[in-house]
Amino acid sequence: MLAADGKALLWDQADGRAKAWDDAMLKDPAVEGSYTVDGVACKPSFQVLKEHVATYTPEAAEAVTTVPAATIERIAREFGEAACIGQTISLEGEELPYRPVCVNYSRGSQGHKHAYLTTHAMELLNQVVGACKVPGGSCDVGKSLGHPDTGLPAWEGAMGPQGLLVASRAAFLPTLWPPPPVTWPPVSADGKELLPLGITGDATWPLVKHPEHYSRPFEAKVLFTLATSMGMSHHNPADVEAGMTRVPFHMHYGVHLDETAELADLVLPDASYLETLDLQGTPYDLSWYFNQPHMKEWVHAIRQPVIEPQYERRPMMEFLLDLVERLGIRLQFYNVLSYIYGVYALEASIYGVNNALDASKALSLEEISDAFWKAYLGPERGLEYLKKHGVVTYPKSVKERYWGNFADVRIP
C-alpha cells in the first residue's frame, strides 16, 4: 500500500493506523494480520509471504524431493528452535540479536538452471528467523570503513527507492543501482545492455556467434582472452567454441595449454604465481573481498615472486602495460585501474581527476602497486613496506562485521 505521496505504508499497532515507512512517530509496525487503509484491505508483506509458503506443504515437498515429510518437519522444527529468537549478545558494548543458525550453500546450488529461485528460497529461511548479518547467522562480506589513516578501502550498501537497501559496488564489479538503460541494438562487446541486473553475466558468445540476431552494426575481429579458460568457465561450451572460432584473430595469454589456448591463433606464456608480483590480493580483488566475513582484523598482504620468470614467460600485467602504451590509451587505462581498485568513483570523475596514478609517464607494475597501497594504507605503507613486513592488519569493528543492525535503510 502506498500513500498519496508514493511512500510505502506500514501499520503501526501502537496507534492503530497506517504510517509512512520513514515516519518518525512509527512505533510498532505490524508484520502479521489484515487491515483496512482508506477502504482498501491490506496485509503486511510478511503475512502475504506466510500465506504463500503455507501452500507448499511437507507432503507436497516429499512428492518432489523424496525426502519424507516427517524429516522435513523435524529439520524445520530444529532450525527454528536453534535460532534462539529473542535472545541477544553483547559485543564491544553493542547489544545485537543472537541467531546461531544458518542455511548455507555453495556452487552446487547457485551454478545451474533456476539457481536464482533456489538460492533465494534458502536465503529466505535465514531472513525469516532474523539470522542475517548478526552473530551466529549468515554473514556476507560486510561493510568496510577503511584503514583508520585513509578511510580506504571503503564500501557499504546504499539507500534506494522507498528506503530499501540497494547494492553498492563490489570489488571490480559494476554498480547495480540505478540499473543501466536497456538499449537496442547492443553496442558493447559483452552485451551488458541486455542484462542490466547481471553482476558478472554477459551475452558475449551469442553476440559473437550470431551478430545478425542482435542487429549488431559490427562484428568482432579480434579476441583477447586471458587469466582463465573460457571453454571451461562459461556455460554452453559448444557455443563458446563456435564464438571463438568465428573471430578472425584470437590471442590467448595464459599459464596452461588449456581448451581456450587450443583454439587461439597466438598463445603467449604468462608467468606462474611464484614468478610474479601481482595486484591480486588488493582489497578490490574478489578473493580479498569475499574472504574476510569474520570478526577478526582486516588483513592486507602481497604476493611476491620467489624466482624470476623462467624461459619466455612474462607477467601478464607487464604485457598489458606495454600494450596500453602502444595503443596510446595510458590515461584511460590508469583511470580504469583506479576505479577497479576503489581509489575513486569512475562515474563521478573526469579522466585524470583524483587519479591515484600519475598518467604523465609510463609506470611500472611496482610503481602502480606502490601507489595503490599508499592510497589504502597511508604514505608510509607502500610496496616496500609490504615487501618487508608481508602483512598489514587493523581492527574490524562490530559495525563493519554486523552492519545490518546499524544500517539506516530498510533491508528486505
CATH number for the domain spanning 292: value is: 3.40.50
C-alpha torsion angle, residues 265, 271, 273, 277 (rounded to 10): -130
pTM surpassing 0.85?
Answer: no
Q: Is the pLDDT of residue 241 over 80?
A: yes
Same domain, 246 and 110: no
**Structural domain ending residue among the three candidates 138, 156, 180:** 138
Provide φ and ψ at 121, rounded to 5°. -65, -40
The phi-psi region of residue 122 (left if phi > 0; otherwise alpha if psi is between -120 and 50; otherwise beta) is alpha
Same-domain status, 302 and 196: yes
Within-domain flag for 156: no
Contact at 8 Å (CB) between 209 and 175?
no
Average pLDDT over residues 285-295: 62
C-alpha cell at 10: 506500514
Q: Are residues 219 and 117 in the same domain?
A: no
Q: Based on the domain organization, do 363 and 378 belong to the same domain?
A: yes
| Dihedral angle, C-alpha 79, 83, 85, 88, nearest 10 ° | 180
CA 201 to each of CA 22, 73, 74, 342: distance values in angstroms, whole numbers, following the listed order = 35, 37, 38, 21
User: Do 200 and 331 belong together in one domain?
Assistant: yes
In a domain, 174, yes or no: no
| Residue 201 resides in a domain | yes
pLDDT tens digit string along 176-228?
Answer: 677 777 888 888 888 888 877 676 667 888 888 888 888 887 888 999 998 88
293 part of a folded domain? yes
Segment 87-100 mean pLDDT: 96
Residues whose CB falls within 8 Å of the CB of residue 122, separated by 6 or more in sequence, listed in order: 103, 105, 109
Residue 24 confidence (pLDDT):
93
In this predicted structure, what is the pLDDT of residue 218?
81
The total of structural domains in the chain comes to 3
Are residue 37 and residue 60 in the same domain, yes or no?
no
Clarify whether residues 68 and 40 are in a common domain. no
> 7 with 163: CB under 8 angstroms?
no
Query: Do strands 391-394 and 17-20 pair parallel, antiparallel, or not at all (unpaired)?
Result: unpaired
pLDDT of residue 349: 41
Name the more confident of 235 and 285: 235
pLDDT band at 351 (very low <50, low <70, confident <90, very high): very low
**263 in the same domain as 218:** yes
User: Do 29 and 98 sit in the same domain of this protein?
Assistant: no
> Which distant-in-sequence residues (6+ apart) come within 8 Å of 170 by Cβ?
141, 155, 199, 289
**Residue 77: pLDDT over 90:** yes
What average pLDDT does range 114-141 have in this prediction?
89
Per-residue pLDDT band for 363 (boundaries 50, 70, 90) equals very high
Residue 143 in any domain: the answer is no
Half-sphere exposure of 287 (CA within 13 A, CB side): 9
Confidence (pLDDT) at 21: 93
Q: How far apart are CA 54 and CA 366, in angstroms?
A: 59
Q: Which residues pair with 391 in a beta bridge?
A: 301
Q: What are phi and psi of 9, to 5 degrees?
A: -105, 145
Mean pLDDT of the chain: 86
Same domain, 274 and 329: yes
Structural domain of residue 20, as residue ranges?
Answer: 9-52
Pick the residue with more confidence: 1 or 38? 38
Cell of 300: 592486507
Amino acid at 293: P
Residues 88 and 132 placed together within one structural domain of the fold? yes
Task: With beta carbons less than 8 A apart as the criterion, state whether 317 and 279 touch.
Answer: yes
150's grid cell = 585513509
Residues 6+ apart with CB under 8 A from 206: 191, 213, 214, 239, 243
Distance of alpha carbon 149 from alpha carbon 121, whole angstroms: 41
Count Cβ atoms below 10 Å from residue 204 Cβ, excluding itself.
19
Final residue of a domain: which of 123, 138, 153? 138
CA quadruple 290, 384, 337, 265: dihedral sign:
negative
Q: What is the pLDDT of residue 255?
A: 92
d(CA 401, CA 404): 9
Q: Is residue 381 part of a domain?
A: yes
Residue 80 has pLDDT above 90, yes or no: yes
Cβ-based neighbours of 312, under 8 Å, separated by 6 or more: 269
Same domain, 117 and 31: no
pLDDT exceeds 60 at position 295 = yes
Chain-centre distance for alpha carbon 313: 32
Q: How many CB atoms lie within 10 A of CB 170?
A: 17
Do the bridges between strand 158-159 and strand 94-97 make them parallel or antiparallel, or are there none, so unpaired? unpaired
Q: Is residue 243 part of a domain?
A: yes
- Cβ contact 134:98 at 8 Å: yes
- The last residue of a domain, from among 95, 123, 138: 138
DSSP label at 194?
G
Sorting pLDDT into bands at 50, 70 and 90, what band is 346?
Answer: very low
Q: How far is CA 409 from CA 32, 156, 162, in A?
A: 21, 11, 9
In a domain, 145, yes or no: no
DSSP character at residue 70? H
